[in-house]
Structure 1
Amino acid sequence: MTVNELITKEDLRAFKAELLEEMRSMLQPVRAEHKQWIKSQEVRRLLGISPGTLQNLRVNGTLSYTKIGGILYYKQQDIARLLEGKEKPWKG
């Protein structure tokens, strides 16, 4: 047995508002979890670069890092500087 439901324009507006609010909250950075140091995988994702390009940034001194137990960490402020375009790490 199927039940027919009537969806009104107001129902759609309410759904749209809920959906937009949920999307906004997902896109905002989590302030309580603001990290000072981030790992290589996240740096590559943020900058949109390959592992080789990230290695070149380390080797040529464009991006400083710290290695602890085999894991490379990068300062959040250095990544932000690159994203703001104060330095252009790659040609293109």
Structure 2
Amino acid sequence: MFSEIITKDDLEAFRRSLLNDIQDLLANKKPESKEWLRCADVRRLLKVSTGTVQKLRISGKLKSRKIGGMHFYKLADIENMLSGKG
């Protein structure tokens, strides 16, 4: 049976190579941008509760589309509301 000894230098070289590969992947990754968001996404984006999202929807400040019992919110509408345009 053939065995190979791995040294600390080998492990360090592997670590550096792995970190460089990960950094390259992260640098080339484009952020995923959704056009339509669910309530949970809106809550995270605005840092508000479900009730606040519902109040914004009922008051007409935030438009939604209801599909199959779920409300979906257009990202552009949220950005406009935050910038004061909507």
TM-score category by the smaller chain? 0.5 to 0.7
Partner of 2:83: 86
Structure 2: segments with no counterpart, 5+ residues: none
1:23 to 19, 22, 26: 26
Larger radius of gyration: 2
Q: Which amino acid aligns with 2:42?
A: V
1:11-35 deviation per Cα after TM superposition (whole angstroms, max 9, x unaligned): 555433322223332xx323xxx54
CA RMSD of aligned residues (A): 2.9
Secondary structure at 2:20 match in 1: helix
Aligned residue pair count: 80
Secondary structure at 1:38 match in 2: strand
1:43 aligns with 2:42: yes
Superposition misfits of 4+ residues, deviation over 3 angstroms? 1-4, 7-16
1:31-87 deviation per Cα after TM superposition (whole angstroms, max 9, x unaligned): xxx5432211222122222111111211222211111221101112112334xx413
Partner of 1:56: 55
- Residues 1:12 and 1:68: Cα distance change in structure 2 (over 3 Å): closer
Instruction: Using structure 1 for the length normalisation, give the TM-score.
Output: 0.61
